[in-house]
Amino acid sequence: MTQDPMSPSPHALARGIFGALALFAVWELAARLFDLPSYILPAVSEILARFWTARAVLGEAAAYTLGEALAGYLLGGAIGVGLALAVTLVPPLRKVIVPAATAVNSVPVVAFSPLILLWFGMGVSSKIVMVAVAVSFTMFVSALAGFDRVDERSVNLMRSFGASRAAILWKLRLPTALPLILSGMRLSTVRSLIVAIVTEMLGAYGGLGWVIYQAVIVIDFVQVWAAIFVASVASLGFFAVVSLLERRLVFWR
Amino acid sequence: MTPAEEPILDLRRLSKTFGEVQALNGVDLAVQPGEFVTVVGPSGCGKSTLFNIVAGLEEPDAGSVLRFEGQSVHARQLLGQVSFMPQRDLLLAWRNVIDNAILPLEIEGANKAEARAEAQRMLPEFGLAGFADKYPHELSGGMRQRVALMRTFMFKRDLMLLDEPFGALDALTRTMMQRWLLDVWQKHKRTVLFITHDVDEAIFLGDKVLVMTARPGAIKLSRKVDLPRPRGADLVTSPEFISLKRELLDAIEEESMKTFGPASH
Amino acid sequence: MTPAEEPILDLRRLSKTFGEVQALNGVDLAVQPGEFVTVVGPSGCGKSTLFNIVAGLEEPDAGSVLRFEGQSVHARQLLGQVSFMPQRDLLLAWRNVIDNAILPLEIEGANKAEARAEAQRMLPEFGLAGFADKYPHELSGGMRQRVALMRTFMFKRDLMLLDEPFGALDALTRTMMQRWLLDVWQKHKRTVLFITHDVDEAIFLGDKVLVMTARPGAIKLSRKVDLPRPRGADLVTSPEFISLKRELLDAIEEESMKTFGPASH
Amino acid sequence: ADLESVSLRLKWLPQAQFVGFYMAKAKGYYEDEGLDLAINPGGPNLLTENLVATGADTFGLSGGTDSVFAAIEKGLPITCIGISHQETPFVFVSKADGPVQEIADFKDASITTWFTGANYVLFGMLAANDIDRTDMNIQPQQVSVTPFVDGQVDVVTATRYNEYYTLMQRVGEENLKRFVPEDFGVSFPRDTLIVGNDFAAEHPELVQGFMRASVKGWLDAFADKEAAIDLIMKEAPTLERPHQEFMLDEVEKIMLAGAAAEQGLFTIDMDAVSSAHQILVDYDVLGGPIDLEAAFDSQFIDAIPSAERLPE
Amino acid sequence: MAGAQPVARRFGAVLPLLKGVVVLAAVLLAVELLVIAFDIRPYVLPRPSAVLEAILRTPAAYRDAMVRTGLETLLGFGAGALFGIWIGIAFSRLRFLRETIFPIFIVSQTIPVIAFGALVVMWFGNTILAKAVIVFYLTFFPVTVNALLGMRAVDEKQVQLLRSFGASDREIMRKLRFPTALPHIFVALRIASALGLAGAVVGEWFGDTTGLGVLLLQGMYAENMVAIWASILCSAVLGVAFFAAIGLAEKRIVFWGGESA
Ligand SMILES: Nc1ncnc2c1ncn2[C@@H]1O[C@H](COP(=O)(O)OP(=O)(O)OP(=O)(O)O)[C@@H](O)[C@H]1O
Ligand SMILES: Nc1ncnc2c1ncn2[C@@H]1O[C@H](COP(=O)(O)OP(=O)(O)OP(=O)(O)O)[C@@H](O)[C@H]1O
Ligand SMILES: Cc1ncc(C[n+]2csc(CCO)c2C)c(N)n1
Ligand SMILES: [Mg+2]
Ligand SMILES: [Mg+2]
């Protein structure tokens, strides 16, 4: 066989960096060549420079948003996994919870935003709730698929050892579901940040979304892009951390 | 093997029906302490169902009699009383060899450190010396089976149920495992009920071979195996072996013909 | 079987190395047209590697000689020239029985309707009458194997390679399939190279049995099977069968001991 | 005749606040001026100045004097050619029986306001009344006024035509106390009409025509409010008619207030503009003074006689 | 069993729908009673009957909005699915392309579209195309990820089998890799349908005249809770319909249940 195009090459990282640099180069060139005003597309160099000059504001905002995203992410993860657990432990619940969760998930989260802003105020709690709503469904679906994947024969083996429901859950179901739970968590990282930012744009006291909103008002698009860059870096970092955690925890593949 | 002793397991008129399907129909079976009983029968005849009942996982139909260590019991009372090894190894991927082996002790509430120490001592006997910290995905098929067997052995119950423990292995590896199992069994002297599809294996291992009928399963034939132990590889070509094999094969063929009808198969 | 004929496949000093691992080391092997050759050998000795080379999927090391129908060829020239059935059935879940069977013809660019009609005609012979429109998940293990075999037969090439086609089946179903394969083979008279782990199977099916050495694989022993055809179930208890089996088992045991060292296994 | 395709970008979705433009379009006034005008609604995070500057839209009804200043400062090539709301369209509201009875009470009150311009009006009001806002409790205001209704907030910001209506519905007008910026020496004219500089230079006659048609549309809307509201309800059927009727009444007052009372609709009152400008300079919202004369161009609106810009 | 099957099949499509409607009605009734019993203020939670009444007062507005938002979603989703699959195939064959471009795709998904309404309007105008583009942007990514994952899930032994029949790379893609990836692709399509609908709704916040996003926005700023709930209800109906349609398509197309052999 010739080399498998599916497996990663040894140059994967270099190529990724090359791709990013190439994009930046084209972007910079386009911005300069066509002399684009910043309200259409600011040059990358300009954005990176702002990265530095506005580092205090951006850093604080990023910490604020990451805090919200992380809290909502954990809460949503707990809710999603908890619901999946409930459905697994009390099978009749499945018929109620699965369709309800599907219906709720079919509504775009932004549609809930006015209600959630109303119920939970403009502070961090509304962001946390929004992120939790967005994350919990993904986690519910992933965890449920994970719990369902448990081999009935393994359950029977545990029962033959005299294991209780709780012991089976703790020693068998949870570890079996872990790979799917973690891949759901990996997917949810990017989403949690986006939802936090978007909710901040609808009303907040701080955070990257708030910075973006303010910057749009004063037509400062360099600031908007700088905030987006920060968000992207934060997302990638969050993604990488969870991926690392995943590789650590699911060492058996 | 003193046949006069009271049987450890005694089943009478044991039946089991799943909705429309009758899986077992009047199984009569007695196993003496220390005996190695092998069970063969066509696919789908109810062998695993029988084991599930004896392991306490399913209740038999009303009217069935299930006696264990001299007492009449409900199947569920046997949960935790019998060491059961299902058809595949079913190792937990996130536990290493030692921790897979001590799983039943952990569930019993034993001290973890002590259980680990005990398992560590048993490793060489199971040909797993030096593999304590390996995870299932780092083991070969034969080694995984041995870990599963070790787990079953660590759950020290007088009766062991082994459901096609070597079903997934190739013929050569299987031969090695059989010899090794006899070694270990002879040392530990436990009572074994062993399901297999392979008649050679049934004769090679068993003190007694049971042939089950096609579904609904019952005991069609029961044969003592009067071959000397320890048994070597050349046994399979001995005349006694061959004549017993012939008899068993004929019985099985008769039953499996009922299963492998021209269209049903 | 006229041994004087020119061999359809002729391998000399065939070797294959994967990085550090030498899988095959000087395999010498000639197969006559119409011959049924079975290959046994310890796990990991290079049987599948040998088949992959003959199917054109891997190139052997430099210095190896590979002759097919009288001509010296590169392995890749054999792609599409040999009908190859891998260890498992590998049916495509989204194609029904007929469409799985005609897959190789489709790839050859044959007219689909004609290929289907031809497959339809062959179904009864493969015990699949009435199952044309069924999908793999609706079939039993034995039936799936027969579809895979039918697919291999429909790819009409003079040489067929069957890599443990019955490896995944239980002993009883396997026996049924063996008898059926001999029936079909005798009607179609194709050349067959057949890998198995099961010595009984190797003798029961083959005109010639090859035993391979442990890795790196070479031919250790080659034995003609002078048993009359058609062969029945009672053959396995005949003296000739048993003595041949003994000889082969000894050879295999010697080799597999090299593989199943105390720690390596 | 050949109509020129142009567009007007609003600051928000269709509602009575903009009905004059819909009226002018319905009556064919834009076509009479040689314009094939499309009315594009706005939305959150959509900046009218931006869209006009890039040529995506020809005309815009933008946020207000404050957003025009910001655009000019950032170098966007746009000019304001008319001001719709002559005085600050929002007020600060407290409860009639609540702790905030006069501006001095703001000091210890919890206040919410929009940080999109309204906050500077508030700061200006506080400064004009010698109140130091450095350690006051001023928070961003969310879409809903419920926190105020529920008593969690003492002072809330409300547009006179929108949130104030909601407050009247939920609390009752008699229970509300209004703080009008103009009463405290601060004024922010809003809802500014803007055009791209290139377009204005190339087609001054079309800009002129646009202004003429728009003025006529608005006067028609004031003259026949029933028809005007019908028009809006057709554009946005899920709106509440009584609210839209209230909105039109309020908008009429705001559009005809101040200098417009004499000079007519869309008057650019440079005094009001520079006073708003001064507040933003004082608070360092703007990096420095901008060239107001260049940014606000009265020639198009002044070309229409005042008599034609006032109701009968 | 044999007799029951055709009957079950005939009602198979209708029965769950019917059941869904009954369940929905029951839930709405329960909420209605709850709101009345606990005297919940309409600003916290309006009565479902009031919401339904609002929809029935201007049914055309809600119908048009659903049609419009549905159409936007459908267009963008279709394009996103096709592009996602196509680029997934390209990525699976061209490693250099994948390793260079894929990280950029990941980063692209961290950009909140609503911050760039102006750019969208500038580039695509106030057309249905603009919304479809946003939906496209949100949907193609999960599809690409899963298509790639699915094509990697192929059994290498099956690839070898087809090679031995003399199959080309293209034939292997068509006859093996793509069908193997289909179940994974459908999982992505389910996720993407909800994302896509959200994209269409947000897209309508960039200056549009019809659509559920417009109704939602109007409800939000007029603090009309009934109108907000009415648009939520409509988008739930639309979302569930999309989800169900994909499920139905999946059942038809991936009839073998996803196992690869
Ligand atoms: N939970 C169940 N519900 C319904 N039918 C069942 C159930 N468990 C087993 N059966 C049926 O009972 C019969 C016996 O099954 P069982 O698994 O005991 O067979 P077996 O002899 O172990 O077969 P194999 O050799 O293939 O393992 C089969 O026809 C099976 O379909
Ligand atoms: N692509 C490869 N790269 C590296 N080593 C390989 C590769 N293919 C096979 N091998 C090695 O070559 C040896 C022979 O493998 P092969 O699959 O041919 O054995 P086999 O005789 O078919 O075994 P089994 O009976 O278990 O099927 C093994 O040690 C295997 O690990
Ligand atoms: C953060 C924020 N800023 C401004 C307004 C005011 N506002 C902007 S659009 C609109 C509707 C049209 O009149 C109103 C009232 C608000 N509500 N929230
Ligand atoms: Mg079984
Ligand atoms: Mg092999």
What would the pLDDT profile of E151-181 be if each residue is shown by its tens digit? 887 888 889 889 999 999 999 999 999 998 8
Tokens of D41: 């609604």
Residue of A nearest to B48 (CA): A153
Centre of ligand 4 from the C-alpha of residue B38, in Å = 14
A26 vs E: CB within 8 A: no
D102 vs E: CB within 8 A: no
Provide DSSP, E17-56. HHHHHHHHHHHHHHHHHHHHHTT--TTT---HHHHHHHHH
CA–CA separation, A187 and E188 (whole Å): 12
E260 vs C: CB within 8 A: yes
Task: Give residue D176's pLDDT.
Answer: 96
What is the pLDDT averaged over residues B187-198?
89
Task: Give residue E20's pLDDT.
Answer: 72
Task: Give residue B170's pLDDT.
Answer: 62
**Where residue C260 falls among pLDDT bands split at 50, 70, 90?**
low
Strand order in the sheet with B71-72: B21-31, B9-18, B65-68, B71-72
pLDDT in tens, B36-73: 999 998 777 889 899 999 999 999 999 999 999 999 99
Residue of A nearest to B96 (CA): A252
- Which among A39, A121, A202 is the nearest to D53, CB-wise? A39
Arithmetic mean of pLDDT over chain C: 87
CA–CA separation, C98 and B35 (whole Å): 51
pLDDT in tens, E63-72: 999 999 999 9
* Strongest mean pLDDT among A166-170, B162-166, C126-130, E67-71: E67-71
pLDDT in tens, E209-242: 899 999 999 998 888 889 999 999 999 889 888 9
- Which among B176, B233, B245 is the nearest to C249, CB-wise? B233
Task: Give residue E8's pLDDT.
Answer: 43
Q: Do C80 and E164 touch (CB under 8 A)?
A: yes
Task: Give C95's Cβ-side CA count (13 Å radius).
Answer: 21
Chains with 3+ CB–CB pairs under 8 A to D are: A, E
- Which among C171, C246, C253 is the nearest to B197, CB-wise? C171
pLDDT in tens, D261-282: 999 999 999 999 999 999 999 8
Which of the ligands is closest to the CA of residue B47? 1
Preceding omega of E183 cis (within 30 degrees of 0): no
β-strand pairing of B65-68 with B36-40? unpaired
D34 pocket-lining for ligand 3 (C-beta < 6 Å): no
Q: Do A110 and E236 touch (CB under 8 A)?
A: no
Position in ligand 3 atom list of the atom nearest CA D163: 15
CA–CA separation, A208 and A210 (whole Å): 5
- From residue C142, give the alpha-carbon distance in Å to each of B47, B250, C174: 20, 21, 8
C25 pocket-lining for ligand 2 (C-beta < 6 Å): no
Is residue E125 over pLDDT 90?
no
Centre of ligand 5 from the C-alpha of residue B168, in Å = 15
Give E-chain residues touching C108 at CB under 8 angstroms. 165-166
Task: Give residue E223's pLDDT.
Answer: 85
Q: Do E100 and A103 touch (CB under 8 A)?
A: no
Q: Do A203 and D142 touch (CB under 8 A)?
A: yes
> With a CB-CB cutoff of 8 Å, which residues 146-175 of chain E face chain C?
155, 157-158, 160-167, 171, 175
Domain segments of chain E as ranges: 1-40, 58-253
Give A-chain residues touching D115 at CB under 8 angstroms. 214
C17 pocket-lining for ligand 2 (C-beta < 6 Å): no
Contact partners, residue D39, CB within 8 Å, separation at least 6 = D7, D8, D10, D14, D18, D21, D22, D25
D144 pocket-lining for ligand 3 (C-beta < 6 Å): no
Q: How far is E114 from chain D (nearest CA, A)?
A: 7
Is residue D198 over pLDDT 90?
yes
Count of CB pairs separated by less than 8 Å, A with D? 57
Higher pLDDT, A210 or B197: A210
Interface of C with B (CB under 8 A): 42-43, 127, 130, 140, 142-143, 167, 170-173, 176, 197-199, 233-234, 237, 242, 245-246, 249, 252-253, 256, 260, 262-263, 265
pLDDT in tens, C181-210: 888 888 888 899 999 888 889 999 999 999
> With a CB-CB cutoff of 8 Å, which residues 90-109 of chain D face chain A?
none
**Where residue C4 falls among pLDDT bands split at 50, 70, 90?**
low
Centre of ligand 5 from the C-alpha of residue C156, in Å = 24
What is the pLDDT averaged over residues B64-92?
91
Q: How far is C170 from chain B (nearest CA, A)?
A: 6
Task: Give residue E110's pLDDT.
Answer: 80
What is the pLDDT averaged over residues E85-89?
94
Strand order in the sheet with C65-68: C21-31, C9-18, C65-68, C71-72
Query: Candidates 1.20.58.1610, 3.40.50.300, 1.20.1440.130, 1.10.3720.10; correct CATH number of E58-253?
Result: 1.10.3720.10
Q: Do E176 and C92 touch (CB under 8 A)?
A: yes
- Which among D54, D115, D139 is the nearest to A214, CB-wise? D115
What is the pLDDT averaged over residues B31-40?
95
CA–CA separation, D75 and D70 (whole Å): 9
pLDDT in tens, C53-93: 999 999 999 999 999 999 999 999 999 999 998 877 889 98
**Where residue E79 falls among pLDDT bands split at 50, 70, 90?**
very high
pLDDT in tens, D229-244: 999 999 999 999 999 9
CA–CA separation, D183 and A56 (whole Å): 39
D50 pocket-lining for ligand 3 (C-beta < 6 Å): no
pLDDT in tens, B204-262: 999 999 999 988 999 999 999 999 888 877 787 788 998 999 899 888 888 877 655 44
Burial string for B28-55 (b: 16+ CB within 10 Å, else e) reads ebbbbbbbbbbbbbbbebbbbbbbbbbb
Residue E200 CB coordination number (10 Å): 31
Residues of chain A with pLDDT under 70: 1-8, 253
> With a CB-CB cutoff of 8 Å, which residues 101-130 of chain E face chain D?
114-115, 117-118, 121-122, 125-126
**At E170, phi and psi to the nearest 5?**
-65, -40
E86 vs A: CB within 8 A: no
Is residue C214 over pLDDT 70?
yes
Arithmetic mean of pLDDT over chain B: 87
What is the pLDDT averaged over residues E19-46?
87
Whether the CA torsion C39, C42, C48, C51 is positive or negative: it is negative
CA–CA separation, E125 and D5 (whole Å): 14
Task: Give residue E14's pLDDT.
Answer: 62
What is the pLDDT averaged over residues B181-200?
88
The protein residue with its alpha carbon nearest to ligand 3, atom 9, reads D12
D41 pocket-lining for ligand 3 (C-beta < 6 Å): no
Contact partners, residue C153, CB within 8 Å, separation at least 6 = C83, C122, C126, C160, C184, C188, C190
Q: Best residue in C43, C125, C172 to probe B by mutation, most B CBs within 10 Å? A: C172
D12 pocket-lining for ligand 3 (C-beta < 6 Å): yes
Higher pLDDT, B172 or D292: D292
The protein residue with its alpha carbon nearest to ligand 2, atom 28, reads C44
The protein residue with its alpha carbon nearest to ligand 2, atom 12, reads C23
What percent of chain C stands above pLDDT 70?
92
- Ligand 1 neighbours by CB, cut-off 6 Å: B 18, 21, 23, 43-49, 215
pLDDT in tens, E90-117: 998 888 888 888 888 888 888 888 878 8
CA–CA separation, E121 and E130 (whole Å): 7
What percent of chain E stands above pLDDT 70?
92
What is the pLDDT averaged over residues D29-57?
93
Q: Do D71 and A219 touch (CB under 8 A)?
A: yes
Is residue C1 over pLDDT 50?
no
Contact partners, residue D23, CB within 8 Å, separation at least 6 = D217, D218, D220, D221, D227, D228, D231
- From residue A46, give the alpha-carbon distance in Å to each of B58, B128, B140: 72, 63, 58
**At C4, phi and psi to the nearest 5?**
-75, -25
Contact partners, residue A159, CB within 8 Å, separation at least 6 = A168, B56, B57, B79
What is the pLDDT averaged over residues B92-99?
93
Count of CB pairs separated by less than 8 Å, A with B? 57
Tokens of A91: 């099978």
Global pTM reads 0.82
